[in-house]
């Protein structure tokens, strides 16, 4: 933006959601490699973006669960992530070797 602020609500519909999700996942892998005991919390800035994160987790669930413990915030309660639930937020932690 011209004033230097980032608008995280804008919708571009330019088809780059897969690239954005891949970048987020790569950042989580890099961060948790350096800080293996850290928890990473994620939620979308809108319900639609949270749904996009949920779809990404579902799509790559087998791959992600091999390396991470995955939790979802369902009705203000944290639980092990299950496909098909309408989570409001997510938290992951790298599994110990």
pLDDT tens digits for range 9-44: 656 666 667 787 788 888 999 999 999 999 999 998
Residue 49 banded pLDDT, cuts 50, 70, 90? confident
What is the Cα–Cα distance from 9 to 84, expressed in whole angstroms? 25
One-character DSSP codes across 33-55: HHSTT-EEEE--SSHHHHHHHHH
pLDDT tens digits for range 70-88: 999 999 999 999 998 999 9
Query: Where along the chain do its domains lie?
Result: 39-97
**Residue 48, pLDDT score:** 85
């Amino acid at each position: 933006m011209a004033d230097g602020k980032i608008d995280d609500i804008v919708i571009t519909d330019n088809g780059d959601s897969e690239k954005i999700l891949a970048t987020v996942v790569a950042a989580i892998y890099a961060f948790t490699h350096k800080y293996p005991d850290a928890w990473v919390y994620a939620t979308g800035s809108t319900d639609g973006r949270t749904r996009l994160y949920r779809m990404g987790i579902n799509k790559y669930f087998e791959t992600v669960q091999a390396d991470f413990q995955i939790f979802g915030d369902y009705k203000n309660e944290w639980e092990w992530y299950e496909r098909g639930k309408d989570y409001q937020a997510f938290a992951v932690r790298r599994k110990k070797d």
